[in-house]
Amino acid sequence: MTDKNGFFDLSKSGFTRRTALKGLAAGAGLAVAPGFVRYAQAQSSAPIKIGFQSHRTGIGAAYGRWYEKTTAAAIKAINAAGGINGRQVEVIIEDDGTDPGRGAEVVGKFATQHKTDIVFGTLFSHVVIGSAPAAGEAKMPYFVVSEGHHVASTKLNRYVFQPGITDVKSQIQSMAPWIAANAGKKVTQIFPDFAFGYDHRDYLPPALKAQGAEVIAQIAIPPTESSFTKYFPQIPAETEVIYHVMVGPAVLTFVKELGEFYGSNRPQLFGFIDSLEAVDINSPGLEFLDGSHFWEGSPRYAQADDTEAQKAYRAAVGIDDNGAAVGDPKDVSTAAHMFGCWETLYVVKKAMEDAGYKGPEDRAKLVEATEALKEFAEGPEHPQGAKTFNGKIHQCFGIQNISKVEGGKLKVVHKTKIEDGLYEAEGDYTTQAL
């Protein structure tokens, strides 16, 4: 047992057969006895592990960073109040690169390597759609904060839930009456050429038609486009409202070029704040947006009528009255979406408690307990507002805010009602086998 360098010469360190045997015996004892105790404890005190699929890199990175901050704040609050079923909650973060392929890999990694209890997810619709099959295959409950209609369309699977943020179809339906009544009747749509944009393409025209308005042109723009002037000639001259949904880092260019194209003589603008999340509304070039309107899930700027719960939530996440990080006014948050992380985690807590969740073997019970939820009351756990939940389509429905850009701030001018956004279910996840 020796080589030239003595690497394998165990006797050098006084390692004899006797000590080896002793060590073996002790090791075996350690492995068996206390291990047994640890296993017994796992049921009661080992932390619940939540795998967090985050857009750390790629085009969604700004969202990822704020989703992480909100999640950390929510978990801190949940743990401080005693955790879930008396157990602390631990979050394990993996980067999905804002990429569907990597998203699916990350879900697989959570299932097989980290062995998390659930996976908690992400914003970009293509990542969610790409990851959902992996979650279904691993029978891993997958809670997303994505805003898209893909969950509610019942085209994914029984393990995917969106209980913290209203889907696009509902948002559009609830806001269409306001657009038709206040902005204009002839609408041109500009949207990104992928899943999230298609939700807008497909659901806005019928929603507006029901209000006596119409979509007169639809312009799809590739998500990687960096220059937009070339699309503007397609906007018909009689357009009264430009309805814009742009996602990605190029949105500032979009607004700036729109400003150069139209000058002060522009149609009304109605947009989804998604484009300008994490972007300071007072950035150079955005003056053009003054007086235009935006959808906001949760308002970025503190409003005069904010509830105590909303104030407490903002303080916990660490955003100031302008929706930027406390202490860094340039670090603007993704306030319109990230509240969904906070609320989703409280839904998970509620469902786990209802199910008496103990460990991965109870995942099916957790799915059923989540499906049994009906409504969430406005309060510290749901600071954005009250919501109803449809267990058949795994989707929640809440209020929407329409905000006007005024004096470099976003001011909420209209709040929709939950009923405005309800629609006929397109399917039923609960009929799928678990």
Partner 1 sequence: MHFGPHLLLATLEGLVTSAVLALTALGLSLVFGVMRVVNVAHGEFFMLGAVLAWAITTAISGHPALGFLAALVIAPLIVGAIALVAERLVLRRLNYNPEATIVATIGMLYIIQQLALTFYGPEARPVEPPFSYRILLPWFGYSGYKLSIIAASALLLIATWLVLTRTKIGLIMRATQYDSETAQAFGIPVGRVYGGVFALGAMLAAIAAVLIVPISQAHYLMGQDPLLLSFIVVIIGGLGSLRGTVVAAVLIGLSDGIISMFFSPTLAKIIATLLVAMVLVFRPQGLFGTAAR
Interacting residues toward partner 1 by CB under 8 A: 57-59, 61-62, 64-65, 221-222, 224-227, 229-233, 237, 249-253, 256-257, 260-263, 278-279, 283-285
Q: 379 - beta bridge partners?
A: 382
Q: Which is nearer to partner 1, 13 or 264 (CB)?
A: 264
Number of C-beta neighbours around residue 422 at 10 A: 14
Smallest gap from Cβ 106 to partner 1, in A, equals 18
Burial of 90 (0-12, 13-18, 19+ CB in 10 A): middle
Looking at the Cβ atoms of 225 and 378, the one nearer to partner 1 is 225
Could you tell me which of 176, 243, 268 has the C-alpha nearest to residue 213? 176
Smallest separation, CB 77 to partner 1 (Å)? 26
Pick from 185, 188, 250, 260: nearest CA to 224: 250
Q: What's the order of all strands across the beta sheet hosting 89-95?
A: 89-95, 48-54, 118-120, 142-143, 160-161
Query: Closer to partner 1 at the Cβ: 63 or 161?
Result: 63
Least separation in angstroms between CB 122 and partner 1: 14
Residue with tokens 């950390």: 72
* Smaller CB separation from partner 1, 73 or 325: 325
Q: Look up residue 379 and give its amino acid.
A: G
Residue 279 near residue 252, CB atoms below 8 Å: yes
Q: How far is the CB of 165 from partner 1 (least distance, A)?
A: 21
Question: Given the complex with partner 1, which of 70 and 400 has the nearer CB atom?
Answer: 70
The smaller minimum CB distance to partner 1, of residues 93 and 252, is found at: 252
Q: Which is nearer to partner 1, 277 or 343 (CB)?
A: 277
Phi then psi dihedrals of residue 94, to 5 deg: -130, 140
- What secondary structure letter does DSSP report for 89? E
> Whole-angstrom Cα distance, residue 226 to residue 212?
35
278, 66 contact by CB (below 8 A): yes
Residue 64 beta carbon to partner 1: minimum distance, rounded to whole angstroms: 7
Name the minimum Å distance from CB 129 to partner 1: 21
Q: What does each C-alpha distance from 84 to 192, 195, 218, 284, 380 come to in angstroms?
A: 39, 35, 47, 46, 16
Given a contact cutoff of 8 angstroms between Cβ atoms, the answer to whether 430 and 392 are in contact is: yes
